[in-house]
Amino acid sequence: MPPMNAKSADTRKPKNTKATIKRLMSYLNEDKVKIGLAFVCVLVSSMTNLAGSYMLRPIINNLVADVSAAERISTLAINLVKMASIYAAGVLAAFFQARIMIGVSQRALLKLRGDLFEKLQDLPVRFFDTNNTGDIMSRFTNDVDTIGEMLNSTLVQIFQGIVSLIGTLILMFYTNFWLSIVTIVVAPIMAKIGTTIASRSRKRFSRQQAELGKVNAYIEEIVTGQKVVKVFCHEDKVIDEFETLNDSLKNAQIKAQFAGGMMGPSMNAMSQVNYTLTAGVGSILVILGRLGKFGGLGKKGLFSALDIGGLTVFVNFSRQFSRPINELAQQLTIVMSALAGAERVFDVMDREPESDRGDIVLDHIHGDVVIDDITFGYNPDKTILKDVSIYAHPGQKIALVGSTGAGKTTITNLITRFYDIDKGKITIDGIDIFDINRDSLRENIAVVLQDTHLFTGTVMENIRYGRLDATDAEVRNAAVTSNAHSFIQHLPDGYDTVLEGDGSNLSQGQRQLLNIARAALSKAPILILDEATSSVDTRTERDINKGMDTLMENRTTFVIAHRLSTIRNADAIMVLEHGVIIERGSHEELLAQKGRYYELYTGLKELD
């Protein structure tokens, strides 16, 4: 079997941020008009907020103006109505913006998840053998969720922050030139602090996503294998291992969240400094203006004196001016986390798919299989099979025996092109399997694996997985052939019984019977049985073998078996050791040689 890669989570930071952003934005191309409308709503919302804030100036100046009480109340009522109308328009714009962007982001995520799932179907078996299932699932959940958060709100908030920043700056200069200069001097310092913190947090958020993937992978693995954990009383061991991974995730999250959390307090501190300076300088300008000592610069234009209403509005703008900067800086942490997640998602999408240069579609084959001098290793530095040659004529039964790791399953993996050979050639009816369309090749090969897997659905649907266009009658006939019909009839709803949790309500033998029924339903002329009866008792095995004899009629069959009693009637038996065929022949011929097969069959030496 191929080796597992212990370090499955990608801890690298994004290689190309611009390319990743551009690729993410491509998922929004179909909704450009809606996004444009949402941004118009954001513009309206931002401008109304600014206009509403500026309405405080005439309201406050009216309160201190030298006019009658009636006139003061009338003017106040008019201004309040204007302010309420402005804010109402802003609320409506914000509502429509949120509603539009939710739809846009969810459609983008729908397509992103679809592309990722579709890509998984094209990836070679090697990818799944060398990556933890939990880490792959983390791409669909945690990583896609962080991307969704960015698409749903962050983009809009960034645009809103920019609009508010520019609008606030314009109104500040319109209100008072000198106070605007004071605010602008502080702004670059705030921006520098924000970008510095964001750049340092980027790598930490990438690490956080990777550690989260490791934890999810471990949880999925232990939950799936919980029975094994309990059988061997390894609860304490897995708890210790989980605590190690969990602690590593905690440390990564502390560093990432601390880096991101520093943004707000740092910006708020600078905001308070700016607020204090603005209030102090503004108060002096108001006093000088009231005393008529504004340097003779006049009461109009950029250098005009400052009134009380103007100071109130400007202080408010000063605080608003720092708020967009704070929000923009905080959004950068979300963007960095989303980019780290997007990099992991696109990393899967960019993997090389299964190679399929063949264009020959098999219509009807006899099942003549020739394995000619093949050499193969899962890793370049370790060869599994060395110059192996096997042939099987149509309808023959070829058995493969040998110690664990000898290369038996590897041979079947190469026939089905789960892996591609390094040297040599495999042909079916004289056609190189590299020249055969991959789907067409596998449609002509039925495989019964040692590890069964049942999908959520009825028994009927699970058997029909062997051939989706099969009728109900054909499904039942396949169940009869595999000896599964008897126990299916005793299930609560028979063939309509719903299986969940990988058929956890069935015995291991019953699950394997359904797996064999799938192969029986298939019309494939080539059959591969990888320890097909290893999970059933001796009596059930005898019944299965009777059905298997019918199943294997007129099919070229490759059988991998540890129970040598099940392969005595094989046309040829291949004995493998360390990737080399050391013996070959019929059952009687190999016993007569009194070699390795004789030792295994007579029990002089057990299979590893």
Over residues 44-66, the pLDDT tens digits come to 988 888 887 777 777 777 776 67
Domain C-terminal end among 314, 349, 384: 349
Distance CA 151, CA 334 (A): 10
pLDDT tens by residue, 522-556: 888 999 988 766 656 666 667 666 667 777 778 89
Backbone angles phi, psi at 352, to 5 degrees: -70, 130
In a domain, 105, yes or no: yes
Return the pLDDT at 575.
93
Segment (H or E) for 408: helix 408-415
> Which pLDDT value is given to residue 305?
62
Q: Does residue 336 register a pLDDT over 50?
A: yes
What is the CATH number for 582?
Answer: 3.40.50.300
**Domain termination residue (choose one: 293, 321, 349):** 349
The per-residue pLDDT for range 161-170, each reduced to its tens digit, is: 888 888 888 8
Buried b (16+ CB within 10 A) or exposed e, 317-352: bbbbbbbbbbbbbbbbbbbbbbbbbbbbbbebbeee
Burial class (CB in 10 A: 0-12, 13-18, 19+), 154: buried
Judged by DSSP in three states, 45 sits in helix
Percentage with pLDDT > 90 across the chain:
22
Whether residue 607 is predicted with pLDDT greater than 70 in this model: the reply is no
**Distance between CA atoms of residues 569 and 61, nearest Å:** 105
Give SS3 for 37: helix
CATH number, domain at 168?
1.20.1560.10
Q: Is residue 451 part of a domain?
A: yes
In a domain, 228, yes or no: no
- Average pLDDT across the chain, whole number: 81
Residues 402 and 464 in one domain: yes
> What's the whole-number mean pLDDT along residues 99-119?
90
- Answer yes or no: do 318 and 459 share one domain: no
Residue 187 lies in a domain: yes
Confidence (pLDDT) at 11: 37
Residues 130 and 88 in one domain: yes
pLDDT, one tens digit per residue, over 424-465 is 999 999 999 999 998 899 889 988 887 778 888 899 999 998
> In the prediction, which pLDDT does 21 show?
86
DSSP symbols for 205-239: HHHHHHHHHHHHHHHHHHHHTHHHHHHTT-HHHHH
What is the distance between the alpha carbons of residues 109 and 105, in angstroms, rounded to a whole number?
6
* SS3 assignment for 145-168: HHHHHHHHHHHHHHHHHHHHHHHH
User: So what's the pLDDT on residue 585?
Assistant: 93
344 lies in the same domain as 375: no
The verdict on 378 and 469 lying in the same domain is: yes
Residues 35 and 145 in one domain: yes
Q: Which helix (H) or strand (E) holds 548?
A: helix 538-552
Beta bridge partners of 397: 557
Task: Give tens-digit pLDDT for 500-519.
Answer: 777 777 887 788 888 888 88
> How many CB atoms within 10 Å of residue 485?
18
* pLDDT score, position 20: 86
CA 6 to chain centroid, in Å, comes to: 18
pLDDT band, residue 222 (cuts 50/70/90)? confident
Q: What is the mean pLDDT of residues 85-103?
A: 89
Within a domain: 247: no
Same domain as 374, residue 343: no
Please tell me whether residues 541 and 437 are part of one structural domain: yes
Specify which residues 576 forms β-bridges with.
402, 581
Mean pLDDT over 403-413 rounds to 88
- Whether the per-residue pLDDT at 259 is higher than 80: the answer is no
Cβ-based burial of 304 (10 A; exposed 0-12, middle 13-18, buried ≥19): middle
Please indicate whether residue 445 or residue 134 has the higher confidence score (pLDDT).
445
Distance between CA atoms of residues 338 and 196, nearest Å: 18
The pLDDT of residue 291 is: 61
Domain containing residue 38: 17-203+260-349
Q: Looking at residue 535, what is its pLDDT? A: 58
**pLDDT higher than 60, residue 300:** no
Amino acid 8: pLDDT = 36
Same domain, 336 and 420: no
Domain termination residue (choose one: 349, 382, 401):
349
For 500, list phi and psi in degrees, rounded to 5. Answer: -135, 160
* pLDDT band at 225; cut points 50, 70, 90: confident
pLDDT in tens, 79-93: 888 888 888 998 999
Task: Give pLDDT, residue 22.
Answer: 87
Query: Is the pLDDT confidence value at 302 over 50?
Result: no
pLDDT at 460: 94
Residue 10 pLDDT > 50:
no
* Residues 593, 491 share a domain: yes
Tally the domains of the chain. 2
